[in-house]
Every structure is written in structure tokens, then in C-alpha cells.
Structure 1
Amino acid sequence: MAKRIFTSFAIEDERMRDLFVGQAKAKRVPYDLVDMSVKEPWRDSWKTRCRTKIKGCDGVVTLITTNLNQAGGARWEIKCAKDEGIPVIGVYIGGATANNAPAELNGIKKITWTWDGIASFVNSL
């Protein structure tokens, strides 16, 4: 059974997320990617549905970009995953550096985007 991986990202980086998901499909990675993109102002009902999805996943991959620090929804997703005990990894993408990782990722492993690195995280779950 494929592992379920929640993908957390800044909505401004939706194209990068699409590239990430598309490459995952092309590589036929042995896991399913899940996201709860916020396309409208989020409400408590979104948080409830999102928490349920995160709790149903084996891990969370957070795409770290220059937009992540300002992404309230993605930062909430990281905190939610940590609160629920779901393993999280940060993945630098699009030229992002350690300066772009929000405080919610303190103490969380961060890697550059390679499928081997992501596979290592997924296989450790």
C-alpha cells in the first residue's frame, strides 16, 4: 500500500507544487501526495478538514520557497502536523535557503529537492 504524503506549500507556489507532483507521477514514486490548497480565505471548517487529512497521512513534505514565511495556511499545516505527531521534512525548492524556512520548521530536517532525499524520508516512515 502506498504511503500518503501531505504536501504543504505557499499558495503562491502552486506551479512549483504542480511541478513537484508531476515529477512524482513521472518517476512513479511509491506514495500518494495530498494537499489542501486554500484558494479562498480559510475558516475553521478548512482547518478541521485539513487536520483530518494530515492525520490520515504518513508524513508531510513542506516545500520551502521564498514565499513560505508569509503563508499562514502552510505554516498552520506544519504546526498541525507537529501537534499530531506526523513526521515532517522541509524541501528547499526554487532557490530558497535556510533564511526562508519559517520558525515552524525549527528542529525539522530540511533537504534540497532530490527524489532520493524524499524517498529516504518516505521510506523511514
Structure 2
Amino acid sequence: MTTKQRAFISFDYDHDEGAKIMLAGQAKLPDSPFEFKDSSVKEHLTGDWKEKVRRRMDNVDVVVVLCGEKTHTASGVSAELEIAKSKSKPYFLLAAYADKSCTKPASATASDKLYKWTWDNLKTLIHGGR
């Protein structure tokens, strides 16, 4: 059995919490290649929240950036992606909805691909196929 990848899920708490709950639920499937370790928070963390996110990311293998219709305006998601990049954490952008226009966070680059959320894609992406 391969070790499950520990994933941090970055998402727009105000608009995409339902999608994040579904993604975290997929981690519980028997053939899931990842476990849900941590995610964005709505509550303001006391002190320097970015430093707390940096520490949380120390304990993950991959960062999943869940992208919805308003992700381009979500400053927290953009900051979390910057933190992942600064820590050289592997990450990928996942479209939260198949039937909506999903946007990338402001800190994403033009070369950051937005992937379709399918079970097969997710398994491949978690293991570095991007």
C-alpha cells in the first residue's frame, strides 16, 4: 500500500465551502491517494495568520487550490498559494465546478493549468501527474 499524500486544501471560504467539504469527503474513500490534513480558515487567526498557515503547510505533501467563480478575488487563497510556492510545496489548481466558470487566484501564473475535477484526474494530480 502506498502512503497517502497529506493535502492542504486552499479555497474561497465565502463561496466554495461546499466544494471543499466534497473534496475532503473524497479523501475518505478506500482508494483515495490523499488524506485531508488542513485547509483555509474563515476565522481570523490571532497574530500573524500567514505564519500559522506556513507552519500548517510544513505538515503537508501537496497543496490543492480549489478554484471557484470568485477565486480571483479571494486574497486569502492568493496568499496561501504564495506561501506554498515559497515553501516549494507541490500544488495544483482544481476547478471546483464543472458547470461554472472557475477562476485562478491572483497569485497563479499563466502557466498554472486549471484541471478538471474528476476522480481519475485527482488521483493523478495528487501523485504529481501535472
Would the TM-score normalized by the shorter structure come out above 0.5?
Answer: yes
Identical aligned pairs, as a percentage?
A: 29
RMSD of aligned Cα (Å)? 2.1
Residue by residue over 1:76-121, the C-alpha shift from the partner in whole angstroms, topping out at 9 and shown as x without a partner, is 11011011111110011223446x1133221223210012112112
Q: TM-score, normalised by structure 1?
A: 0.84
Aligned length: 124
- Identify the residue that residue 110 of structure 1 maps to in structure 2: 114
Contact 1:7 1:63 in 2 (8 A): yes
Contact 1:6 1:59 in 2 (8 A): yes
| SS of equivalent to 1:104 | coil
> Which structure 2 residue ranges, 5 or more long, are not aligned?
none
The whole-number CA distance in structure 2 between the counterparts of 1:17 and 1:96 is 16
Greater helix share, 1 or 2?
Answer: 1
The whole-number CA distance in structure 1 between the counterparts of 2:100 and 2:67 is 6
- Identify the residue that residue 92 of structure 2 maps to in structure 1: 89
> Which structure 1 residue ranges, 5 or more long, are not aligned?
none
| CA 37–103 in structure 1, closer or farther in 2 if over 3 Å, else same | closer
Determine whether 1:124 maps to 2:128. Answer: yes
Contact 2:28 2:35 in 1 (8 A): no
The whole-number CA distance in structure 2 between the counterparts of 1:108 and 1:30 is 22
Contact 1:63 1:92 in 2 (8 A): yes
Q: TM-score, normalised by structure 2?
A: 0.81
